[in-house]
Structure 1
Amino acid sequence: MKEEIKMARIEVRITINEQTKIKNKANELGISVSAYMRKTALNHRIIIKTDNEMIRQIRFIGNNINQIAHRLNINSDTLNYLDTYTQMEEYKQMLQLIIDKIRKI
């Protein structure tokens, strides 16, 4: 499908602070300010660019949770539950930081 040529313009007055925020959000998403404004104004889904470090951290947390679950299933009588709980809380906090970062976008 051939993309329609964009000929029309709309002018909007915003504060310098708003302009900075809009530019930063578009930058974080890896798209132009025009594309960002069109997508948000027309309620289109915005697909964020992949953050490889964030994906690596989520995989790391997932692997560690799987290891903990495996240990619980195999060695439930000898496992220190306090250590396991502490590890799970650490992973929960790490995931919350990642979620907070995603919500800022």
Structure 2
Amino acid sequence: MVGLFDIGIVAKGRLTIGYTELEAVKDSFLAQSGVRIRGHEFHVSYAEYSNEGYVFRNVKGRGIANGFDGAMVNNTLALYTHTYLPSIRGIKDRLRATLKK
């Protein structure tokens, strides 16, 4: 929408819906590497994203592409998963530390 991510969204006819579980493969303001988070997906599209620098690996769910989710540029994180913040270990401290920077 604003050109921050080199990403294209393609509408498709089939609904993707369900619970997700992601594992962080890189540190971010949301979770440290190795931390698992839960959420859900609800979309009728898929993303075409050229960057292989994903932040999360899908344990359950589809994500952006090829079993990965979470495109990040600086401190902006875009996910197909709608995250359930209380599922993230240490989220309050991580967000507080990020906001203090």
Report the TM-score, using the length of structure 1 for normalisation: 0.21
Q: Greater helix share, 1 or 2?
A: 1
Tell which has more relative contact order, 1 or 2 (C-alpha 8 A, sep 6+): 2
Determine which structure has more spread, i.e. the larger CA radius of gyration.
1
